[in-house]
């Protein structure tokens, strides 16, 4: 897979999904987790969650703890899901002006966070921000894409200090089908980008596309659609199961790791048998995607009381598998 100008080799890891402190903040434990990840070959940087700050508990701690060589992708998905739960009118694609303006204001707060992180790193550490096209489409209107375009026109005009502005495609609202996020369809997101005239791209999350399409093989259609539109910039791998598992109910957006890969050492020890995400499927998606700004993994890990060492080892093996798949 070729690298664009200025891209560093390696993968972006959404390590917060498997953090040992997800259920209770402990800076000493999290420091050990980051130290372990810093020793993993092939990690380019982290996908960090934006929750109205760069860290949900201690932003100064995060700025001091991040290895200076790591690059960052900042995603607002956690904020967006919580905001829509509080107010279904919230979002960049909202036809309600107050809800749309609130989402734009959050993007402005993210921009301030990008600047704080870059200032702390002494470099343009943030390579991308991932925004989401919430809320879901109104059943009696098709104006969501136009509302999203208006938001992107404004946001795309800001100085993001070199960070790419991306829409992270989440599973779209499909009539008669239970959803995890239920936001805009990929076609509407692409149409909004074109209408906006802004330099905005798309990031595809493998698991969320599988949830929407109820298929592992059809995820390639989303990759191809975004690629053919000339907007595909990021590809993150996150697994999903079509049956209940230790990670939750069927089709939950629970970030399952790879399914066991034949031939890998201890194939089942750091994998999830219920996961639909296989290494060959990841290889196919990367081949279809072509040149990207970044790719990576976002995997959770069970049991909830798993050791820091076990979590780091799962990520190490997963990074190794995906690195080999992309070669």
Radius of gyration of the chain measured on its C-alpha atoms: 18
Asked if 206 and 235 count as a contact pair (C-beta separation under 8 A), the reply is yes
Per-residue pLDDT tens over the stretch 65-91: 999 899 999 999 999 999 999 999 999
Whether residue 209 has pLDDT greater than 80: yes
d(CA 273, CA 252): 15
The per-residue pLDDT for range 159-192, each reduced to its tens digit, is 999 999 999 999 999 999 999 999 999 999 999 9
Q: Band of the pLDDT at 3, cuts 50, 70, 90?
A: very low
Classified by CATH at the fold level, domain 11-326 comes out as TIM Barrel (3.20.20)
**279-311 confidence digits (pLDDT tens):** 999 999 999 999 999 999 999 999 999 999 999
pLDDT for 35-46, tens place per residue?
A: 999 999 999 999
Q: At which residue do the structure tokens 């972006």 appear? A: 12
Q: What is the pTM of this model?
A: 0.95
Residues 296, 323 contacting (CB under 8 angstroms): no
* Mean pLDDT rounded to a whole number for the chain: 94
Parse the chain into domains and list their residue ranges.
Answer: 11-326
Residue written as token pair 């259609």: 221
11-33 pLDDT tens trace: 999 999 999 998 899 999 999 99
Q: Are 253 and 211 in contact (CB under 8 A)?
A: yes
Name residue, tokens 């049956």: 243
CA 72 to each of CA 67, 85, 92, 294, 308: distance values in angstroms, whole numbers, following the listed order: 11, 27, 23, 10, 22
| pLDDT of residue 264 exceeding 80 | no
- Angle, to 10 degrees, between the axis of helix 144-156 and the axis of helix 97-121? 30
Contact 51, 106 (CB under 8 A): no
Q: What is the pLDDT of residue 327?
A: 83
At 182, list the tokens: 């239920």
Question: Which H or E run contains 271?
Answer: none
């Amino acid at each position: 897979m070729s690298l664009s100008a200025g891209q560093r080799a390696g993968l972006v890891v959404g390590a917060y999904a498997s953090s040992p402190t997800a259920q209770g903040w402990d800076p000493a434990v999290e420091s050990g987790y980051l130290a372990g990840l810093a020793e993993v070959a092939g990690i380019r940087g982290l996908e960090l969650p934006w929750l109205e700050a760069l860290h949900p508990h201690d932003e100064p701690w995060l700025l001091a703890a991040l290895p200076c060589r790591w690059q960052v992708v900042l995603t607002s998905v956690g904020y967006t899901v919580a905001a829509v739960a509080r107010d279904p009118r919230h979002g960049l694609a909202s036809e309600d002006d107050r809800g749309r303006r609130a989402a734009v204001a959050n993007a402005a707060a993210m921009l301030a966070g990008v600047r704080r992180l870059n200032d702390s790193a002494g470099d343009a550490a943030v390579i991308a921000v991932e925004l989401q096209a919430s809320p879901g489409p109104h059943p009696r209107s098709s104006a969501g894409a136009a509302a999203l375009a208006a938001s992107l026109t404004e946001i795309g005009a800001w100085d993001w200090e070199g960070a790419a502005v991306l829409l992270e495609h989440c599973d779209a609202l499909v009539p008669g089908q239970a959803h995890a996020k239920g936001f805009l369809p990929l076609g509407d997101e692409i149409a909004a980008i074109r209408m906006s005239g802004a330099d905005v791209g798309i990031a595809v999350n493998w698991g969320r596309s599988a949830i929407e399409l109820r298929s592992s093989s059809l995820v390639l259609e989303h990759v191809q659609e975004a690629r053919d539109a000339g907007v595909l910039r990021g590809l993150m791998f996150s697994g999903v199961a079509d049956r209940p598992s230790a990670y939750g109910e069927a089709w939950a957006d629970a970030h399952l790791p790879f399914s066991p890969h034949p031939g890998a050492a201890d194939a089942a020890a750091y994998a999830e048998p219920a996961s639909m995400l296989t290494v060959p499927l990841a290889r196919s998606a990367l081949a279809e995607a072509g040149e990207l700004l970044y790719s990576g993994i976002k995997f959770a890990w069970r049991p909830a009381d798993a050791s820091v060492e076990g979590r780091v080892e799962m990520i190490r093996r997963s990074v190794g598998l995906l690195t080999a798949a992309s070669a």
